[in-house]
Structure 1
Amino acid sequence: MSEKDGTKAGEDAPQRIRTLTDLAQIAGVSAGTVSRALAGKSVINAKTRERIQALAREHGFQPNQMASKLRRQKTGVVGVIIPLGHDKQQQVSDSFFMTLLGHLADELTDKGYDLMLRRVIPERDEDWLDRFIGSGMIDGVIVIGQSNQFERIEDVADGYLPMVVWGNHQEGQRHCVVGADNRLGGKLAAERLIASGATKLAFLGDTAPFEFAARFAGACEVSKQLGATIEAVPTHLSPDQTGKEIAGFLAKRGADFDGIFAASDTIAFSCLRELQKLGIEVPGQMKLVGFDDLPIAAQTLPPLTTIRQDISAGAHGLVDLLLRRLDGEETESLVMPPKLIIRATA
């Protein structure tokens, strides 16, 4: 028997429960189910809820253990996490990520916080979010992009207040979001292409992520109303794939379209380069509209027509809502109006 812990030699010590994930493994359920059960949510049947609560008591894990710890002991650090479930080869050096991260760093520094950044591949770590918020290293978390992890984020939101997400808002969701009205942005993009004379549109991007799906849906709505056609062309965001995919698309089917709505400025930049390589005039033969209005969009040749989502204001909103949530306030989502920025490509 050990003098320190009272266990016999060779005997396993009781499993120590530090996070929702630990308790979920013992209970044989998801971390989201544990979170809802400890919060007393009626969506979990009474028998399961009582069993999980009993396990929590047995192991000394309090329902609000993480939240109370955060209230008692501040780390002065905000976690920023980028889940790449839909495009595992995308890099943090992506122009959009770097622009948003720059504004976030400025906002957090101004408020006296440090930033801890993580890039995760969810299929390699099912509990990527639970593990981060339960680490004890951060006071709260900002998630950049919903990717294909909407349900995971929803699960965590049930029991964890200090979290704000950059992404697309939809009616009835439980997690707090800051982002542009992506569907309206898609409408503005399609309207501009059609007003410029395009009638056969291609949407370049993966329509699985919620933000891109909303942009495509808005463009589809306008195309149908105005008698144009639109087709989604799956396009990755990883640097080593985007250019090749667009080059292949333009070589095989470029003549079938006269307007391109790129799901992001990053995709639009690659598209513009490939169009120039093929000698396809923009906007003479092909109209092009991007989405984001990154700083470099005004410097391309020709300058890119795009849909602006105010990234600076978005970063301010993310930090403001997170700090209010750290004070215990249940905030509403912030949906920002997009704006058409007309330059020379459409």
Structure 2
Amino acid sequence: MTGQTEGANKPKERIRTLADLAGLAGVSAGTVSRALAGNSLVNTKTRTRIEALAREHGFRPNQMASKLRRQKTGVVGIVIPLGHDHRQQISDTFFMTLLGYLADELTEKGYDLMLRRVIPEKDEDWLDRFIGSGMVDGVIVIGQSDQFERIEDVADGYLPMVVWGNHQEGQRHCVVGTDNRLGGKLATERLIAAGATSLAFLGDNDAIEFAARYAGASQIAEKMGLPIRAFPTHLSPGRMAREVAQHVQDLTRTADGAGAVDGIFAATDTVAVSCLAALRARGIAVPAAMKLVGFDDLPVSSQTLPALTTVKQDIAAGAKGMVDLLLRRLKGEDTESLVLPPQLIGRETA
């Protein structure tokens, strides 16, 4: 009898590459690679489904390619996730300063670097795919953005990763960064000591580091019985300039600066520089009518007029610490995080 469905006994089409199997499974090639290697980064349900599809279609990974992927590449991946501000650029002064120090440290240790800027909502598999690419020995992540939980998940199964960012008690990923909460306290104490009585924080609190800076500032303001308000401010250049100009207009009601706010804590030096321009455009004297403190101590902070009072985070020491920790983790050591102390750099704006 020939009434059976045509092709019922037809052999399954062979899957020849990881990409073929990934397309069939609806996941990335990196996820397939890790699933077939038994990597714990892939959850059990997904791994079981991929293994079943591989058996069904007679797929056998290329063992030579697998061995090559396990060899050292001499390359460290550096990735910048921008989930909180899609239009921020790698040319941002903070990124360029940190990248310069990282490049110096990695080159001295005999490593090249591979740089990626990612928008997580457009690429949910951004970190897994980078790690599973076989092109890097380890990964440095610059900034937690709004990706803290994703980074935590990856840290559970991937050792050679170090993150620049804010440390939270009990977190699983290894981080290097400044005590941002303490930095916020130092900035606010300086503003109050300079005579400020009503405060504003300009920054994007969706970013973990900025949120910690604001939390420290709020703690001191509350302790001193002074008001403080947060004004959301992004770091993409055009957007930042427009937002800062609007904020300055809102918090300074008269041309001489006799408004509700007389002290600004800017989340970064770049925001502080934009504040100086906006205040100058409105004829508001700094520090006579408005006190201003930034954060980072980037080279530009000592070159503004007036020179910017700021909170220094030691970017050079941070870069060295990140590379040292990553090299130790590449050797199999599960390292602790490194939290650097901030330092108030007193200049002319407060």
Query: What's the TM-score once normalised by structure 1's chain length?
Result: 0.85
Q: Aligned in 2, Cα 1:48/1:282: closer, same or farther, shift over 3 Å?
A: same
User: Higher mean Cα deviation, 306-315 or 131-140?
Assistant: 131-140
Instruction: Name 2:326's counterpart in structure 1.
Output: 322
Q: Aligned in 2, Cα 1:12/1:54: closer, same or farther, shift over 3 Å?
A: closer
Instruction: Name 2:76's counterpart in structure 1.
Output: 78
**Preserved CA contact (<8 Å) 2:79 2:115:** yes
Q: Aligned in 2, Cα 1:119/1:301: closer, same or farther, shift over 3 Å?
A: same
**Preserved CA contact (<8 Å) 1:40 1:49:** no
CA distance in 1, matches of 2:25, 2:334: 25
CA distance in 2, matches of 1:23, 1:179: 41
Instruction: Name 1:124's counterpart in structure 2.
Output: 122
2:156 equivalent to 1:158: yes
The ranges of structure 1 where at least 4 consecutive aligned residues each deviate by more than 6 angstroms after the TM superposition are 21-24
CA distance in 1, matches of 2:47, 2:132: 22
CA distance in 1, matches of 2:178, 2:210: 11
Q: Which structure 2 segments of 5+ residues have no match?
A: 1-8, 253-258
Alpha-carbon offset, residue 252 of structure 1:
2.6
| Counterpart code for 1:256 | A
Report the number of matched residues. 326
Alpha-carbon offset, residue 228 of structure 1:
1.0
Percent identity, aligned pairs only, is 63
Q: Aligned in 2, Cα 1:60/1:189: closer, same or farther, shift over 3 Å?
A: farther
Could you tell me which of 330, 334, 337 is aligned with 2:338?
Answer: 334
| Counterpart code for 1:210 | I
Instruction: Name 2:14's counterpart in structure 1.
Output: 13
Instruction: Name 2:224's counterpart in structure 1.
Output: 226
2:318 equivalent to 1:311: no
Q: Aligned in 2, Cα 1:75/1:278: closer, same or farther, shift over 3 Å?
A: same
Alpha-carbon offset, residue 248 of structure 1:
1.2
**Preserved CA contact (<8 Å) 1:307 1:338:** yes
**Secondary structure at 1:242 match in 2:** helix
**Secondary structure at 1:256 match in 2:** coil
Alpha-carbon offset, residue 48 of structure 1:
4.5
Alpha-carbon offset, residue 133 of structure 1:
1.0
Query: What's the TM-score once normalised by structure 2's chain length?
Result: 0.85
**Preserved CA contact (<8 Å) 1:34 1:52:** no
The Cα offsets for residues 187-217 of structure 1, whole Å up to 9 and x where unpaired, read as 1111111111111100001111110000000
CA distance in 1, matches of 2:153, 2:24: 15
CA distance in 2, matches of 1:305, 1:287: 9
**Preserved CA contact (<8 Å) 2:159 2:334:** yes
Aligned-pair Cα RMSD in Å: 3.1
Q: Aligned in 2, Cα 1:117/1:191: closer, same or farther, shift over 3 Å?
A: same
CA distance in 2, matches of 1:23, 1:195: 64
